[in-house]
Amino acid sequence: MCLLLASPATRDHDWVVAIADRMAESWDGSYEDSGSVSDESSYYARLHIEPIYDSFLCPLTKQVMRDPVTIESGQTFERAAIEMWFNECKESRRRPICPMTLKELKSTELNPSIALRNTIEEWTARNEAVQLDKARKSLNLGSPENETLGSLKYVQHVCQKGLSRHIARNAGLIPMIVSLLKSTSRKVQFRALETLRIVAQEDSECKEMLAEGDTLHTVVKFLRHERSKEKEEAVALLYELSKSEALCEEIGSVNGAILILVGMSSSKSENITTVENADRTLENLEVCENNIRQMAEYGRLRPLLTQILEESQEANISCRCLYAGEDPTNRKYFPECCTSPLPLILRYLDMKETCLVETDNNQIPGKAEFWSPIEEKFTRTLGNWRKFVPLEECFNLEYLSL
């Protein structure tokens, strides 16, 4: 019986093809919009005014190169892709070979192809200028839905590239995208919210533009939707905007914003990402005292408790437990659910352990003297604070009945 064995060259070729196909399928950062539906992709592709030349494409990823490098064989690849290729060779215990010629390489040195990179960048800039102009014409309420969705997706694509992050703002597209929040199409509303979040990332000027007019009020309205994708994206957008301290007061001043966010942050029915974004947004909003007051009114007391503790520390009041010489905030004495310093101290007092108060002049005042400024703060901030049930759950009122 005659056995036909594959030659080493054939085995190398099959291995190369398998690895290259896997890299092309899994490569992140595609130039085209592979994730959109077919009609959007078709519209998106038609935006190109110049063809993508073969020399611009990496043989491994099949995508336009951003950092082209040439190897010993004279072939050019995307830097990250060929580095990954060499790593595959190493892990497979193979000598490094060129994935195009299959010839063994004596060196894995990468030489930047500066001329090609400059040509690609010029080509990209020319295309982007015309593409954005075409996209601009579709960013209005009267355009067909698929064209609007395609244009928004293109704006996202451009802004997610490091060097072009501010292009939407510079091109005057922000007001046009904001206007799409009032579209009758839920798909367009969702894509507009998503696009605004992307263009606002790491762009303080864009965030400030979104605080103008009634944009924040419009975004907050989406929070009232019942379990919708628009609601989830609106929370993500507010979280991004809340990273700017200048906008925190503006967000907190929108009627119902903090109330809804407090409810969402403790919701059992929302998905975990939405709950986390609502909670993180509230944490960012804590830079404004008026926001802290609103949160306390709606049952989120931790920011106010933390603020009181910080003010007490500024007044040179410190609480130290004399039991075993330990700090009362030592977590080993308290349940895991206690995560902020003041509730820990209060819980410790409620456990009836011996706790004295020290001041810088070594005087030991009584409990009433320690808690008086705290009750005063609650009264000043919340008025009749005893009406708030969550407060009674956090405190043992025996220590506050002065």
- Domain boundary residue, one of 117, 143, 174: 117
223 and 259 share one domain: yes
pLDDT tens-digit map of 95-140: 899 999 989 999 999 999 999 999 999 998 888 888 888 888 889 8
| Residues 331 and 395 placed together within one structural domain of the fold | yes
Higher pLDDT, 49 or 240: 240
Domain count, the chain: 3
Least-confidence region, from 81-85, 92-96, 253-257, 364-368: 364-368
The answer to whether residue 67 is domain-embedded is yes
In a domain, 270, yes or no: yes
pLDDT at 369 over 60: no
In this structure, the answer to whether residues 334 and 263 fall within a common structural domain is no
* Domain membership flag for residue 309: yes
217: pLDDT strictly greater than 90: yes
Q: Return the pLDDT at 51.
A: 82
Question: Quick one: pLDDT band at residue 214, thresholds 50, 70, 90?
Answer: very high
Min mean pLDDT across 127-141, 187-201, 214-228 is at 127-141
Strands of the 68-70 sheet, one edge to the other:
76-78, 68-70, 111-112
Residue 166: predicted pLDDT = 78
Question: Residue 128 in contact with residue 164, Cβ under 8 Å?
Answer: yes
pTM of the predicted model over 0.85: no
Q: What is the tens place of the pLDDT at every residue in 332-347?
A: 333 333 344 444 444 4
Is residue 215 domain-shared with residue 295, that is, in the same domain?
yes
> pLDDT tens-digit profile of 4-28?
444 455 555 666 666 666 666 666 5
The secondary structure element, H or E, covering residue 346 is helix 341-350
How far apart CA 113 and CA 224 sit, in angstroms, is 53
**Distances 3 to 6, 9, 13, 14, 67 between C-alpha atoms, Å:** 10, 17, 20, 19, 46
User: Which pLDDT band, with edges at 50, 70 and 90, does 398 fall under?
Assistant: very low
Residue-wise pLDDT for 46-60, tens only, equals 555 678 899 999 999
Range scoring the smallest mean pLDDT among 70-84, 108-122, 349-363 = 349-363
Do 318 and 272 belong to one domain?
no
**Band of pLDDT at residue 378, cut at 50, 70 and 90:** low
Q: Is the pLDDT of residue 397 over 70?
A: no
> Where in the sequence is the domain holding 381, given as residue range(s)?
302-399
**What is the reported pLDDT for 387?**
46
Highest-confidence segment of 13-17, 34-38, 330-334, 383-387: 13-17
Mean pLDDT, to the nearest integer, of 361-385? 51
pLDDT at 328 over 80: no
Domain assignment of residue 165, yes or no: no
- Give CA–CA dist 265/285, Å, rounded: 13
Pick from 239, 166, 252: which is nearest to 209 by CA?
Answer: 166
| Res 391 pLDDT > 80 | no
SS3 content of the chain, % helix, strand, coil (to 5): 60, 5, 35
Other C-beta atoms lying within 10 Å of the C-beta of residue 253: 15
With beta carbons less than 8 A apart as the criterion, state whether 135 and 149 touch: no
User: Within a domain: residue 240?
Assistant: yes
Given a cut of 50, is residue 69 above it in pLDDT?
yes
Among 117, 149, 168, give the residue marking a domain's end. 117
Q: Where is pLDDT greater, at 226 or 24?
A: 226
Rounded distance, CA 207 to CA 162, Å? 17
CB 83 within 8 A of CB 103: no
Task: Give the integer Cα–Cα distance in Å for 110 and 350.
Answer: 67
| pLDDT tens per residue, range 144-156 | 999 999 999 989 9
**Do 390 and 323 belong together in one domain?**
yes
* Stretch (H or E) spanning 320: strand 317-321
Backbone φ, ψ for residue 356 (5° rounding) = -115, 160
Question: Higher pLDDT residue, 133 or 365?
Answer: 133
The pLDDT tens digits of the residues spanning 249-306 come to 999 999 999 999 999 998 888 889 999 999 999 999 999 999 998 998 888 888 888 8
Instruction: Please identify, among 87, 117, 147, the residue that sits at the C-terminal boundary of a domain.
Output: 117
- Tell whether 294 and 309 lie within a shared domain: no
CATH number of the domain encompassing residue 106:
3.30.40.10
- The one-letter code for the residue type at 49 is I
Given a contact cutoff of 8 angstroms between Cβ atoms, the answer to whether 219 and 193 are in contact is yes
Question: What is the spatial distance between Cα 365 and Cα 370, in angstroms, rounded to a whole number?
Answer: 7
Q: Are residues 14 and 97 in the same domain?
A: yes
pLDDT of 43 above 80: no
Identify whether residues 13 and 111 lie together within a single domain.
Answer: yes
Mean of all residue pLDDT scores within the chain: 75
Q: Is residue 29 part of a domain?
A: yes
Do 312 and 269 lie in a common domain? no
pLDDT at 149: 94
Tokens at residue 79, please? Answer: 């830097």
Residues 363 and 320 grouped into a single domain:
yes
Residues 109 and 21 both lie in one domain: yes
pLDDT of residue 20: 67
Residue 175 lies in a domain: no
Residue 159 has pLDDT above 50, yes or no: yes
- What the block records as the tokens of 81 is 């892709």
Q: What is the pLDDT of residue 202?
A: 85
Distance CA 335, CA 48 (A): 60
| Domain membership flag for residue 38 | yes
